[in-house]
Structure 1
């Protein structure tokens, strides 16, 4: 029976090619515009660490003075940690793993004569960084906690930087010069690039390229290496001491907690730590301001999706609604023009639900055509997004779920648009129409 209704739908659509083309075009334009922005929003809010995000948490302390005025246009001044607070949380070892980190940019001085010095972005971190985040390795491994304590001059290179410096051979144990210092290569990481780069500073590019080097944070501090990120100070510290100051926040801290009991215990630990610091006179604000964010909650707190993207999404959905309204009108006109045909079928014994199913299948066929057209329009829209200067633009790619979602949305929209016309056509009195035949 479904095959018979499908054949009737195709015959009906072929009889009115111009009207069919208009309906397919309307649904295609609406779906294409909507799926372009839905895809952009999807890649910007997707889980950057599937399978691990449920165990990763960001502690949030509030050491700011009561009279501190937050800049509404910038990141929250309390999002980063001060050096004393970060080291206190690290030394407490309350999680399964924990790591302190900050972004950096260094000048690479290749030994190859055919390469000139160039700058690369990377990360200063403590030893648990690699195991906690599951960083994949092409060669070797990360450094150990003992290397952190010994302030060893070791480095983990990103695969792209490693190939640029040493080709495809084994580079473990070789030396690379970063800034003014030589470092021994202990590992080569794959170009690991979770999107967004959730562990980066709030002021950094969250949808940028992969980090190309990883150095021990202790070594970066000893050498006074350049740090990328947001420094927020509320004291009168000199530039020479701001890195270790209790009134300058600039570090990021992540902790791995494997079960609800650990999460509850760590929240209590943060509260107790804040209360202790308030008693000591360092913190002025209530201990209740201390928070523990899960990874996805932290991304939401950071508000990574620009307001213009959300506005464009609502505009696209509004355009889809307009297109659906037009399709309702076109289908209503089309189905009512076939009142005589429908009445004959009713007179021959067809039930109202049979007619409704037939017209619904015809609407679904229009949706399939509109979905295919919508895919093409969405791909064109995403191509235009990828040519924008925004840092997230290169991620505007459809995955399998988005491809299937486009077709499902197109079919659902067309069926929904066809409900009223199909119901109205089913309510036509056969006797009145048969008299005119």
Structure 2
């Protein structure tokens, strides 16, 4: 029966080429505009670490005095060195990591003239297991390496290929960073969480770093960080070389894995007790003010999806609805003109449902055709988005789920647009329709 409906639908569409083209164009334009913005919104609001986002938490404590904190109800987004080290030492071994962004001068094998700044992540050993970072070769450093200030690094695949030709040949080689030589112990595969949840300060849609270095080694060598730094108090300093000893500057991010609600609650109590201890020691002056957000909550708190993008997505959906209204009008005209033909079929024994399904199949063909045009327009729209200077622009690409969603949305839109015209056409009594004609 379906093949019979398809033959009837194709024949009908061919007989009314102008109306058919207008319907397909209306659906295609609506789908193209809608899927362009929905894809951008999908990329910007995606889960950056599926399967773990509900178990990775970002602790915050309030180290400032009343004057420095002002009316801000939220504690700083980052931690001072002493707080980060205390929480690492007393927290959950093997399931946490402290980190900061940095930039180092990389002297490529070509010599001094080929030196360049490279984005670097100063972090503790738990970073790689905590975030399920995929290794192409080698491994990360150990707790012992961290304590001994070992001069080892992990490279990103792109940088390893640039330096050594073959990324798998990088492990065991030496690279010069600043004034020191470092041994490469691992190479990670291309890895890009979107958004870059673990350090929003770098930019929610920034590229991952090319070099990963032990945090204590970076501090010991006085390699300056390039991340966000906030200081307060009369003795506060923005001298980045002294931040490791300052209690009045926050510049480190800390992430911890908590697998169960009980662990989350226990860690929250741990943060409160830690704040009370620091207040008793005279470091903190305010009552405990802590936050513990998982990845999803952290991204929502930082509003990583700009309101302008959400508004554009709503406008694109509105444009699709306008196109659907136009398609309803075109289908109503087209189906009404065929009332005599459909009435003859009814008179020969076809049920209302049979005619209704025939018209819906015809609409589905329009939807598939419009979806194909919409996909082409959406890809063109995403290419235009990628030319924009926005930090998220390079990620505006349609993945397989969004590709399938485009076709499904086009078919659904055309079927929805056809329901009223098809229902109205089927209600017309066959004898009256033939007499009118």
Same fold (TM over 0.5): yes
Q: Deviations over 1:4-57 (max 9, x none)?
A: 122111111111101000000000000011101111111122222223333322
Tell me which residue corresponds to 2:404: 404
Asked if 1:208 is matched to 2:217, the reply is no
Task: Please give the residue correspondences for 1:287-306 in structure 2 after superposition, counting only pairs within 5 Å.
Answer: 287=288, 289-306=289-306
After alignment, is 409-418 or 160-169 more displaced? 160-169
- Unaligned 5+ runs, structure 2: none
Asked whether the 8 Å contact 2:120–2:211 carries over to 1, the reply is yes
CA distance in 2: counterparts of 1:297 and 1:167, whole angstroms: 41
SS for the counterpart of 1:227 is: coil
From 126, 129, 136, give the equivalent of 1:128. Answer: 126
Is this contact kept in 2: 1:77–1:249, CA < 8 A?
no
Tell me what 1:188 maps to: 187
**Worse-matched range after superposition: 399-408 or 177-186:** 177-186
Could you say if the C-alpha distance between residues 338 and 173 of structure 1 is closer, same or farther in structure 2, counting changes exceeding 3 Å? closer
**1:108 deviation in Å?**
0.9
1:378-393 residue pairs with structure 2 within 5 A? 378-393=378-393
**Structure 1 position 97, deviation (Å):** 1.0
Between stretches 42-51 and 164-173, larger displacement belongs to 164-173
CA RMSD of aligned residues (A): 2.3
Q: Is the 8 A contact 2:59 2:292 kept in 1?
A: yes
Alignment match of 2:137 (pick from 121, 130, 139): 139
The DSSP-based 3-state class of the residue aligned with 1:296 is helix
> Which moved further from structure 2: 169-178 or 406-415?
169-178
Q: TM-score, normalised by structure 1?
A: 0.92
- State the Cα distance separating 1:284 from its structure 2 match: 5.1
Q: Is the 8 A contact 2:105 2:117 kept in 1?
A: yes
The Cα shift of 1:145 comes to 0.6
Report the Cα offset of residue 83 of structure 1.
Answer: 1.4
Q: What is the 5 A alignment of 1:33-182?
A: 33-68=33-68, 78-94=76-92, 96-113=94-111, 116-168=114-166, 170-182=169-181
Q: CA deviation at 1:281?
A: 5.1
The match for 1:265 is 266
1:234 and 2:235 equivalent? no
In the TM superposition, residue 285 of structure 1 has moved relative to its aligned partner by 5.1
| Partner of residue 247, structure 1 | 248
In the TM superposition, residue 432 of structure 1 has moved relative to its aligned partner by: 2.2
Q: Distance in 2 between matches of 1:313 and 1:348?
A: 48
CA pair 95-424 structure 1, distance change in 2 beyond 3 A:
farther
CA contact (8 A) 2:231 2:238 kept: no
